Every structure is written in structure tokens, then in C-alpha cells.
Chains A and B, each alone.
Chain A
Amino acid sequence: MAMTSLKSRLPALIALLLLGACAADGGAGRGAVAAGAKLADAGAAAEDALPPKDPYPSRYRPAAHAPFAIRNVTIWDGRGHEWKNGAILVRDHRIVAVGPESEVAIPEGVEVIDGAGGHVTPGIIDVHSHLGVYPSPSLQATSDGNEITDPNTAEVWAEHSVWPQDPGFIRALAGGVTTLQILPGSANLFGGRSVVLKNVRARTVQEMKFPGAPYGLKMACGENPKRLYGSKGRKPSTRMGNFAGYRTAWIAAQDYRRQWAEYLKKREKGERAKPPKRDLELETLAGVLDGEILVHMHCYRADEMAQVLDMAREFGYRVSTFHHAVEAYKIADLLAENGVCAAMWADWWGFKLEAYDGIRENVPFVHKAGGCAIVHSDSAVGIQRLNQEAAKAWADGRRAGVDIPKAEAWVWLSYNPARSLGIADVTGSLEPGKAADLVLWNGDPFSVYTKAVQVYIDGVKQWDLLDPAFQPVSDFELGQPGEGDAK
């Protein structure tokens, strides 16, 4: 799976970050060029240079922080374990130790936070957000999430639309969201590239970008593309039209890859060769065929997901995750066999026909089948309480006979989303060596009355319910009615 390519890159990158190295020098952090080719100087852009893989590199650097420990808490590690009377030790942006208090040695001089009977979980990862591209306020002027001008806009990148000042990021932070994938909207067959962000306050998107996270490609099934373009009297206007559109594009991407491969072969032999003309749309699609870009596909219906799986086989790529998979429960076995994640709502249904068969047990039924179940939001409101969404799904699953511990259900909120995004090696669970992306809750995270008290990203405190100094106010809200008020 695509995670393996990241696996090889990430430790090096994190080491660079921790050393304070600057990854901006030509994008050394992420394989800046295609495999086998030499690093090109980003500034020079020689004519025979390969297309840059990371022209807008992450400039995220976690701030320095003192080591700390949280004790006297129940810990859910995000992999299904629960430790009552647990403790966790954090140093240099990473988790050093986690487990029962008796087994976590807290060195002298380390600040100890008494969790006072609360809970600690991994930070929530939302694989489906439009924060920043559809920010608050929602005006025509801020509507930057759907390039609704062509069924194939694989060439657009969500990060070029993200407004880091969206107050929605701060509301999501208060809900314990530490990482989120920003997707372009679902109007198109190919909506464009996603970007994975750390939920930190920054002036630029680059300073929020999750180092080393693979890009995603947003694709959409069903009603949205056919409704939008069909109403304009153009292709696609049917589901079969949708598939013709996808397949035509994949064929073009195969050809584009072939052109580059031929060029590289000639160059390796020392022959003079002119590189193919860059095509942003096909670069993204070819990136999927290369396994470097993960497919995130908006797809509700079971039968349609099965069609997509066949198409992926036809063209030799993988689907990372079906988003909004309202009918995943009907093919939970098929999804599990194919190793495809399903990102779902707890109980949304009926707003469109392809959401008509929603049931409250969708998430637990996918889990029961051995699949990769994810609770996602697709909402600036829903993202604020994904813990409650998971709780509802857990509760309904239990009543339907899927009786799993709450700590196991937390995989829907952190570890499985991290798998979906190809970042599970560095975040998504509380394990030694992983990023200290974690939340201290003031009670059971599956209770409606519980709130995130403190939220840490890479060990740096980003939110504190009890300390206004850690309650950020976006530029937009500064000097406005309600500024700095409890939200």
C-alpha cells in the first residue's frame, strides 16, 4: 500500500525536522524528483529537469516545548488498548512512553499534568474536511472548494485555495482535531489534489502542511458530477458517462507515464531527448498510477463502489478510501478484501437519493467485517464533535450485536484515518516514537458532556479550555462582535 513509500521517507524527514534542518532547500524532504533522477536545483528549473514533486513544500516546524507527562487518566491508545490509571510521557515532540502509570517512569523535573480522572486519546484525524476552501464566512468570495468548470480538474490543488484564517480550524481544534485532510469538492469526476494539514495556527498554508503526507486525489461518483454537468447539457449526465470520463482520463494518464518513461530511458542511455510537455492534470493522475498519490473517492452506493474497484483493477491503481460510503455496510466484506477504507457519517441520510439507505450501524458493521472504518465529517460543524459521532455509531453497533470496547472504536477517529492518509507510521495512535498528537478530555470522550481540555500537536499545546492564552482568535474574528468569546 501507499504507506510503504511514505514509510521510507518519513523517518528521514522527521529527523531533519527535529534537527532543525531546513527542508525548503529544493524540497529535499520529500522525494523531490521521480525515482532514479537526480535532485534538481529548485531555482534553476533546467529544461531537462523532471517536474518537481513538491514545489510548495511544508514549512511546518513544531515549536520547542518542555517535556511533560500526563498521569491519573484513562488512556485509549488508538489501537484498541485502554489503560485506566494510565500515564504518558512526551519529549521532543514525540511520545516517549505510554501505558499504566506503574510502567511509565517520569523523570525528575518533567512537568506532570494531573489528568484528574479524565481521558487521553490520540488527536482526532478528519479525512474529509473543506475547512479553508469553504471557510467561514461562507460567501461567494470565499467559495474556493469546487472548480466546477470541467468534469476533470485533476490539475487543481486544494492547498492553493485554503485560507489559513478560517475560524473553523479553531473550532475543530477545540473538538480535538489535530490533523485534517482538506479536499476539493465533489462536483467533478476528478476534483483535484487534497492536502493534509496539521491543525496549527499559521500565516501560510505551507506552515500547516503535514510533512511527508502523500497527496490525495479527490474523485467523485454518482449524483454530483452527473447532475452538475448534465444540467449544463454536457458530459457526464449519467453514471455510465461518469465512468467513461474516468476511464478516458486514466488512459491518457497511462500514455503520459509512458512518454516520461521513454524520455527517462533515453536520458539514462545518454541520448538527447526532449522531455514531454508538463501537464498538471496528467501529473496528478500519473502520480496515482505510480502509487504516490492516494485516491479519496466520494461514493455512496454499494454497487457503484464495486464498479470503482473494478476500474482500479483495470488501470492498476488502489483506492485508499471511499468517502461518504453510506452503503458500505452492504459490501463490507468486499471493502475488507480489497483493503479499502470506508469513511462514514454516524447517521446522516436522505439528503440525496444515494444517501437514502443510510443506517446507524454502518460504521460498526464495516468494522465487524474486518474493514478499515473511519468516522469523517465533511462539515465545519460535524468536525467539532467527531468523538460524539463515533460514540453514536459505537452505541448503535453495540445494540446490533457489534459489542466492541470504546477504546477499540477510537480507531475510527485516529488510526484508521491515519492509514487512509498514509501517515499511520507517524501519527494516529499513542505509541512510543510517534508524534505527540493527543487530546486530554475532561471525561469519557463518548459522553455528550465531555470536552477537550487540552490539545497537543507534536507535543506543543495548541488549545486549553481553561486558559484563554491558548484559545486562538482568527484574524477574521478579531475586533468583531463575539471576539474571543467562548465558542
Chain B
Amino acid sequence: MTRRRSGFGRTGTGGRLAVVLALGLALVATLADGAFARDVPARGRGVAILGGRIVTVADAGVIEEGSILIRDGRIERIVQGIPEDIPRGYLRVHAKDKWVTPGIFAAFSRLGVVEISLARSANDDNVEGGPLHAAFDISWGVNPRATNIAINRIAGITRAAVSPARGDNVFAGYGALIHLGIADDIVTRRKAFAVAYLGDAGAQVAGGARGGAVVYLVTALNDARRYAKLPAEAVFDGIIPRVDAEALGPVVRGEVPLVVHVSRASDITQLIRLKAEIPTLDLVIAGGEEAWLVADDLAKAKIPVILHPFANLPGSFSTLAATQMNAGRLERAGVLFAIADTEADAHNPRLIPQYAGNAVANGLTWDGAIRAITRNPAVIFGVDKDLGSLEAGKIADVVVWDGDPLEVTTRPEAVVIAGELMPMVSRQTELRDRYRDLKPARPFGYIR
């Protein structure tokens, strides 16, 4: 294990990463039990996941004993049983009695942009007091080597929406989509969605009342539309600065979703009205604790919701009707929804399967739950053509679990991101291994 780092420093390049990958996997292989043997891969090799219970989250449903062949980052084919014609050189992952699912897509997170929540110098998730609001672009701050990437990767999170946190404006800025694989740049889509805060939070930054926040939002969108038609040299005198007016262009044209934080049912009703007035808006609700009260209207307006199933406390006068039944009720009403931590957790998106399992315990179907953490986020962010389910041709984000993935006692045994088998190590597993034995032969600082 000491050898693992001896050949390269911490400030590596892509080449170093490949080495880490290979050696990290060697480590995995030594830790894994015999029942789940793995080969040591090289980049770009095919992968065959054999004999698992495949939850495709697609038309094929659940394949009780099937195999997935992966090549060049994508799923080549999915078959019943174990094929006899596995091409030579494919890494074989034996998944008998294991569950196989698409990778978990964290629909709302701060992965890669926050190292320590309470240390301002160690996070890049929002702007306050600066010149930008809607124009803030979080993608520039995404760090693929942040500890939370590997820690969540080995828990089965393969994709994430990285969202800006609330700053000092109704608009928080632009979020990005990332993968959790090993690369120097993990951003797959910059400016993938914009984020705005209405409800209590929006009111606070818009003068103290909802009537201020919504009028500000609508005026800003109108400004953006007006700005787009202005001749290049013309003077712009909107309620928002020129830089924000330019930034909001894709939002008003409906090219990217506008994710709006709201909780109270009445706020949602007003948003539905807003969408009727500006039909181009691709609205998504985050939070939505009282969404179930207006579920039919949401379904009709085709507005999806990102929700946290644990939200069941009347933490404010905007969440009096919060209940863990929210997800199940939205499902029955036909609302598209994703399950995530709607406070956009930086450290534990890995708990998303637990959130989904609890939603099942509170009225959501199991199928609905798995969809809400894989396929639905891909649909909401417009990347479901490539991601979110196990189908031939899709990007190969695949997780092999040692049981029902929504169970709190289940953990991934293998994680594949874009066709590459990931090393099952993180800073946390290294700390764990350093302190397994409290009477080591050498001081702890030498144990690697």
C-alpha cells in the first residue's frame, strides 16, 4: 500500500490519475471477498457485469439474472443470463445475487464546490456582495479532487447537479452538471440550470415580502428579454445589471430549467400562474414541502419537483403541511419528481437512497423511488437521452449493490462511471484503515 503513492505526488495530472485508478483497484481487489472477484483494469477496456438482478429503470423493467456489457463508456448490450460470447479482455464483475442499478443522480447538491461548509475559504457555492447574481456560474469552482467526490462516488453517486446556494439576491446563479468519475474536469454541462429563491428566502433578499421577490423575478426576466433585443451599443437601464440581464437570456428562452426554491402551497400556485403567463419558462420546484396540496395542478402544468422525503416538520409557516407522504402523493397525481436533499448537501448526497427508501415506507412505490433518484433527475435536467437508465447506447453509469439499494444496510460493491470501474477508496476509507488497529507498530502518521 505504501507503494501506491510513492511514484507520484498529490498534484498530479491525468496520467497520475490513471495510475491511481489502476493501483486503487488493486487495493479494492485485495479488500474484496472471494465471492466478488475483480480484475485490475486498464483505461478503455470493456466491462462485463455478470448475472446480477438488473433494475434497468427502463422498459425492460427488472431482469432477474442478467448481464451488462460495456464498451467505450457506453452500454453495449443487456442480456438475460450470462452470455458466452464475452469478448476477450473485458473486465468481469461477478454480480450474482447482487443488485445492479443505474448510478444515483444527485438532483441537487454542492459536490465539488464545498470542502468545509463553515469555512468560507473552503467553499465556492454562492456569491454575496459581489457584482454578479444571476450571472454567477458555479462550474468554474468545481474541484474534481474535492474529498466529497470520492466519498460519494463509492456510495453509488455517479452524477450530480451542483447548485449555487442562496446569496443576496432572488437569483442565486447557474448550476452545473457533473460526473463523479476521475478526471481533471468533471463538469459535463456548464450553466445547466439557473436557481432562484422565492418564498420566505426570496422575500428576505427582496425587501421582506413575497410581493417584492416575485415582481423582482418577473421584472428581471422581462429585462432579459428586452436586453436580448437591444442593439449592441444601446444603453440598458433595467432593474438588474447588464451582466445578469445577459445571463438570464437562456432562462427566458426556456433553454435551461429555472429551479425555484419554494415550500408553501400558495407559492406553488403562484408559480403555476407565472408559468401560464410566461409559457417558455422551464420551471422546476425545489423544496415543495406542501406540493402535495396542489399536486393535480402541478401535474397539469407539467412542473417537476425536487423534494426531500424527510421534510415533515412545520419548521416555518411555509411548511405547516409538510409530510413524508409528499412523494407518494405526487406520484399518484402524476407529478414528475426527484428525491434529493433540497438544501443541496455538500457532504452526504450518498444518503439519497436512504431518503428514497423512507419515501417508500411512506407511500411511494419502490419503482417510483428508484426512478426518482436515477432517471427523473436526468429527465428534469434534459440529459435522459444519455443518462438515468440502463439501456443499450446509454452512458454506462452502473452500480452493483450487495442488496436492495434503498436499504440503509446496503452498500455498493462496484461503481462504473462512463464505462470505467472506480476504485472503492476515499479519504474516509484511508482514515478508517489507518485507525483500525490502535496499537500499531509504527506511529499512526506512517500508516498508509
Contact = CB atoms under 8 A, between A and B. Distances in A.
Given A350-B346, A449-B361, A482 B323 contact: yes
A388 B147 contact: no
Interface stretch (B219-227, B308-316, B390-398): B308-316
A136 B313 contact: yes
Interface stretch (A7-15, A25-33, A351-359): A351-359
Given A388-B354, A480-B314, A357 B431 contact: yes
Contacts of B439: 333
Contacts of A487: 312, 322-324
B432 A388 contact: no
A399 B411 contact: yes
Interface string A382-413: 00110010011011100111000000000000
Nearest to A334: B438
Nearest to B436: A400
B391 to A, nearest CB: 27
B346 to A, nearest CB: 7
Interface stretch (B64-72, B186-194, B402-410): B402-410
Contact of B265 (A448, A481, A485): A481
Interface centre among B118, B325, B350 (most CB of A within 10 A): B118
A329 B435 contact: yes
Nearest to A388: B408
Contact of A351 (B117, B406, B435, B438): B117
Given A333-B438, A399-B411, A481-B320, A448 B361 contact: yes
A333 B118 CA distance: 30
B377 interface: no
B347 interface: yes
Nearest to A346: B408
Nearest to A348: B348
Contacts of B348: 347-349
Contacts of A394: 409
A351 B320 contact: no
A469 interface: no
B235 interface: no
A394 B432 CA distance: 15
Given A137-B316, A482-B321, A487-B312, A350 B147 contact: yes
Nearest to B366: A449
Contacts of B407: 447-449
Binding site secondary structure of chain B: loop
A168 interface: yes
Given A332-B438, A357-B431, A369-B438, A448 B354 contact: yes
Contact of A391 (B322, B358, B408): B408
B304 to A, nearest CB: 22
Nearest to A349: B347
Residue from B350, B406, B428 having most chain A Cβ neighbours under 10 A: B428
Given A349-B428, A481-B321, A136 B314 contact: yes
Contacts of B438: 331-333, 369
A171 B313 contact: yes
Given A359-B432, A448-B407, A167 B357 contact: no
Interface residues of B, number: 50
Contact of A347 (B119, B317, B322, B351): B351
A333 B435 CA distance: 11
Contacts of A482: 290, 314, 320-323
A481 B321 CA distance: 5
Nearest to A442: B361
Contacts of A451: 361
Contacts of A85: none
Interface string B268-301: 0000000000000000000000100100000000
Contacts of B431: 357, 359
Interface in B403-448: 406-411, 428-429, 431-432, 435-436, 438-439, 444
A446 B290 CA distance: 29
A480 B314 CA distance: 10
B352 to A, nearest CB: 12
A351 B347 contact: yes
Interface string B247-285: 000000000000000000100000000000000000000
Contacts of A171: 312-313
A132 B151 CA distance: 34
Interface centre among A352, A358, A482 (most CB of B within 10 A): A482
A451 to B, nearest CB: 6
A485 B321 contact: yes
A138 interface: yes
Interface string B346-371: 11101100100110111000000000
B116 interface: yes
A486 B432 contact: no
A216 B367 CA distance: 47
Nearest to B289: A482
B148 interface: yes
A138 B316 contact: yes
Contacts of A351: 116-118, 347
A353 B431 CA distance: 15
A169 B290 CA distance: 21
A450 B351 contact: no
Contacts of B265: 481
Contacts of A138: 315-316
B115 interface: yes
Looking at B148, B409, B438, which has the most chain A CB atoms within 10 Å of its CB? B409
Interface in A81-98: none
Contacts of A223: 118
A114 interface: no
Given A350-B147, A388-B408, A394-B409, A137 B315 contact: yes
A330 interface: yes
A345 to B, nearest CB: 10
A330 B117 contact: no
Interface in A321-352: 329-333, 347-352
A23 B265 CA distance: 48
A289 to B, nearest CB: 31
B326 to A, nearest CB: 11
A448 B360 contact: yes
A136 B354 contact: no
Nearest to A477: B314
A101 B362 CA distance: 32
A139 interface: yes
Nearest 5 CB-CB pairings of A with B: A482-B321, A448-B357, A395-B409, A350-B347, A481-B321
16 contacts: A137-B315, A137-B316, A331-B438, A353-B116, A359-B428, A359-B432, A360-B432, A388-B408, A392-B354, A395-B408, A400-B432, A447-B407, A448-B357, A480-B314, A481-B293, A482-B320
Given A171-B313, A447-B409, 17 more contacts: A136-B315, A137-B317, A138-B315, A167-B313, A167-B314, A350-B147, A351-B347, A359-B431, A391-B408, A392-B408, A396-B411, A400-B436, A449-B360, A451-B361, A480-B321, A485-B321, A487-B322
